[in-house]
Amino acid sequence: MTDAPAKPEQPRQRPPAAPLFAAVLAFGGGILLEQCAYRPARLYFVCTLLLALCSLLALCFGERWRVRIAYAAAVLAFFPAGGLIAAAHGTGPALSTALLRFADGDEITLTGYVARSGSLRSSREPRESLDIYVEQAQHENEAAQAVSGTVRLSIYVPGSHFASEIEEDGADQPIAPPLFDYGQRLRVRAKLRPPTNYRNPGNMDYIAWLHGQGIVVLGSAASTHIEVLPGAGGSLVERLRWRARRSILRQMEQLWPAPYAGLFQAMILGERGLVERGERTEFQRSGTFHLLVVSGMNVAIFAVFLLWLARRLRLPVEYGIVAALLLTCGYAWLTELAAPILRSVLMIAAYQVAALLHRDRAPLNTVALAALVLLAANPRELFNASFQLTFLAVLTIAGIVVPLLVRTTLPLREAVDDLGDLRRDLTLHPWQAQLRLDLRDWAAVPCRIFGEQRGLWLAAQIAYVALALTELVMLSVVMQMAITLPTAWYFHRINPRALWANVVVLPLMSLLMPASMLAVAFSYVGRWLAAPFVVVARWSLQGILAAVHGSGGAHLFDLRVPRPSAAAIAAVVAAYALALLVARRQRWLAAVSLALLASAAWTIYALPRSFEHRPHALEITAIDVGQGDSFLIVTPGGRTLLLDSGGLVGGHSDLDIGEDVVSPYLWWRGISRLDAVAFSHSHADHMGGMTAILRNFRPREMWFAPNYPSHEVRLLMTAASQTHVQAIEHHRGESFDFDGVHFEVLSPPADWELKPRGQDDASMVLRLTYAGHSALLVGDIHKRIEKMLLEDATRRGLLTADLLKVAHHGSNTSSTDEFLDAVHPAQAVISSGIRNSFHHPRPEVLQRLAAHHVNTYRTDLFGPVTFYIDVDGVHPSVER
């Protein structure tokens, strides 16, 4: 009797190499679904439970299918789990808003403790920013009330420009305010205000950003109105952390002079208060702004340095890994523990723990594990630009760059290793052995000079450096292609210069981080011990600054783009997914996928969001710029003019209205270039943001009226010359057509007396006419110019208008009854800031407008307001 032939053994189904990667994608998809479409939490729970049970039941199937089915069901279970976690976080405790009752602009007394240590802020005047956890608040002559909440205060010095906006008296020479530490109990007399948003589409949600940090109210206080109370608040651990952090920041100020100390504080601990706005802008232009933010790169450099140092000290591998993990966590603890830091610490910890347990370390699994933990802790991180950029950067390294290096430079490194060992040639591929022979031939001359061993070592080191540079260039190129979409979406910037800038600064940053940390550590023992590291760190920083200034200082190739179109987004996502899939396969497939990724990234610039306008109407949009003016004028043919750019009334903030408010709105509209810009007069609330507009949108012309040649005007004219913008002066009596729209300049006259004061009356007054209807834009003129316009109108009849831009933000210095009678507008718009200190618009002006039956719109109430002028009249439209 013969035995039955044995069945061939079925190959075992191997699980995916990175099982958590698909799971975290499903988890993120569930969070996105819950955000976009509400579903009951119990539905998510039931779906998660059923899919988890299906995954367990699949293990009962045959050997051939159970792994695949179990894995698929487990991955699918993460989808409703993401929605369940997001729904649970959405029903959590809301942020306390009790402090908003006191944010009425009146001075109140707050009692509490410092929740975030104070830090000096770089601006024209010395000021300090700190957060206070408030326990009691009281108005003058009223009893104190128990409240809870955190307020962010700006502490100014009496006598500074900032103080002059708030109080009349002041010292002759302002000094820096004292810095307060975490836990100090304070009694502060301050003025509070609720945070506000610029409500233009495309602008940042500043209120949500503050709420994410636990801040509900903003305020300002004089340094002389702060009393330190006995006792301490907060936790002991946090007091120790902030005390250590403050000590390190002070050591940096002693080791390096200004402005280097501020840069070291930013690069090592994330304290950017002393970094000037101009310096930050150059880092942004060069694509190296991540150097000023303590991110995962800093933590990774620190961890790698610690592991290298442990090997040099010949510590056992296990001890070295544990020591590196503990010190890395300690460094992260000293920073402000932002999400990028936590992500990096999680990934490094998972990677090194796997090494301790002698497990395979899959980079994609490590990235996915960190993302999964952070999303489970805070699902809203999914919509954070920092999270997306960090996750995408690390995913690109792990999923695309590393496989490419394994197939390209890693075999070359294997060929260079132990170059003097002839027996190793027999174990390698023939082409690798041939490369070793070529290197030995090239090393013949160094061998004759330095000896055979040193000559071969020199040849190997040169080869290693060439390979490292190749890998760095490859990393920079692939990384820039991968992050093109999010940087264009969030920052409206495509920066080819970042390719070579990062190639230069990343090695220098790898030297700067350990050198500066060793300098600070040794400085506690003796300055002479720290001196060599201080010099190395400073040289590294100077090299970084040379690369940044050489790249960021020039405007060439600084491409600012509108939000990408849907077609461009789809192309980039598809190309990136394809690159992830085939990077581990054949070389030609990887090369094709990278070419597709590069082409898709180029579509971000080539296919921006289309600019939509009404082809048979003149559009005039009052952009919400707070207490200032900015109007976008779009002709029926699609040509664009920006009249005024908003700006800052005072010098206490480093916010650039042109860059941070007006430009994002224009990019949201799909505008990549303006045809012309104009500023009505030379006050900062009208022209303060114009330099950024010139730089970002490169208009062909800049219109202006006769103005006093102040320092600000000269700087703007210089910027126009540098960006090749033609400056054109217009004055009373001129008229011209601009793409079918008739423009008339009603004021000021060509011989207007130029004085440093009275620039409001030098405002350029424009009357626009299209399809038989007109708009009158009058800047900040006062009553005497209105009278002059009335006198001129009796002779020429040029003053009537369907739409009036109310002068001077609704100040009572303008808009007289006689002027409103002559203009006889049906619609009016007032551009003013919410709860502005000038109390614009004035009630008297609003009453006069109402008495003349004018339908009035205000940016402080409605946000941006758009008026369409066509043959049927003027049609207002308000964003909702």
- Please write the tens of the pLDDT for every residue from 700-714: 999 999 887 888 899
- Please write the tens of the pLDDT for every residue from 467-476: 888 888 888 8
- Cβ 705 vs Cβ 678: under 8 Å: no
Domain ranges of the chain: 19-90, 98-234, 236-361+495-560, 408-485, 566-606, 618-874
- Cβ 608 vs Cβ 668: under 8 Å: no
CA pair distance 636, 540, nearest whole angstrom: 54
- Cβ 26 vs Cβ 71: under 8 Å: no
- Cβ 231 vs Cβ 175: under 8 Å: no
Strand 618-622, strand 631-634: pairing: antiparallel
First to last CA, the chain: 88
The 3-class secondary structure across 575-602, one letter per residue, is HHHHHHHHCCCCHHHHHHHHHHHHHHHH
Q: Which amino acid is at 132?
A: I
* Residue 398 DSSP one-character state: I
The pair of three-digit structure tokens given for residue 784, joined into one six-digit string: 């005497």
Q: Which amino acid is at 773?
A: H
Note the pLDDT of residue 699: 95
CA pair distance 678, 764, nearest whole angstrom: 9
Residues 6+ apart with CB under 8 A from 77: 47, 48, 51, 52, 54, 55
Handedness of CA 116, 119, 123, 125 (dihedral sign): positive
Q: How far is CA 203 from the centre of its chain?
A: 12
In which element (H, E) is residue 505 found? helix 498-523
Count the Cβ atoms, other than its own, within 10 Å of residue 310: 19
CA pair distance 680, 831, nearest whole angstrom: 14
Note the pLDDT of residue 167: 41
Could you tell me the fold of the domain covering 618-874? Metallo-beta-lactamase; Chain A (3.60.15)
Note the pTM of the prediction, 2 decimals.
0.86
- Please write the tens of the pLDDT for every residue from 289-321: 777 777 777 888 888 888 888 888 888 888 888
Q: How far is CA 371 from the centre of its chain?
A: 21
Residues 6+ apart with CB under 8 A from 544: 288, 291, 504, 505, 508, 509, 512
- Please write the tens of the pLDDT for every residue from 818-846: 999 999 999 999 999 988 888 899 999 99
Q: Which amino acid is at 741?
A: V
Does the N-terminal peptide bond of residue 748 adopt cis geometry, omega within 30 degrees of 0?
yes
Residues 6+ apart with CB under 8 A from 246: 117, 179, 181
Question: Nearest to residue 596, comparing CAs of 569, 572, 567, 570?
Answer: 572
- Please write the tens of the pLDDT for every residue from 248-260: 999 998 999 888 8
Residues 6+ apart with CB under 8 A from 611: 562, 638, 669, 670, 671, 672
Residue with tokens 């913008």: 725
pLDDT less than 50: residues of the chain: 1-2, 6-11, 161-174, 554-556, 650-652
DSSP 223-283: GGGEEEEEEE-S-HHHHHHHHHHHHHHHHHHHHS-TTHHHHHHHHHH---TTS-HHHHHHH
Count the Cβ atoms, other than its own, within 10 Å of residue 699: 23
Q: Is 149 left (phi over 0), alpha (psi -120 to 50) or beta?
A: left
Handedness of CA 37, 43, 45, 50 (dihedral sign): negative
- Cβ 543 vs Cβ 515: under 8 Å: no
Question: Nearest to residue 710, comparing CAs of 687, 727, 678, 728?
Answer: 687
Coil/strand/helix, residue 488: helix
CA angle (38, 43, 45) in 5-degree steps? 115
Q: How far is CA 14 from the centre of its chain?
A: 43
Note the pLDDT of residue 694: 94
Phi and psi for 219 in degrees, rounded to 5?
-165, 175
Q: Hey, do 98-234 and 618-874 end up sharing a CATH topology, with the first three levels equal?
A: no
Handedness of CA 221, 227, 232, 237 (dihedral sign): positive
CA pair distance 507, 527, nearest whole angstrom: 26
DSSP 646-678: ---SSSS----HIIIIIHHHHHHTT-S--SEEE
* Residue 564 DSSP one-character state: B
Question: Nearest to residue 126, comparing CAs of 66, 179, 184?
Answer: 179
Note the pLDDT of residue 358: 65
Note the pLDDT of residue 531: 92
- Cβ 269 vs Cβ 249: under 8 Å: yes
Q: Which CATH code is given to the segment(s) 98-234?
A: 2.40.50.140
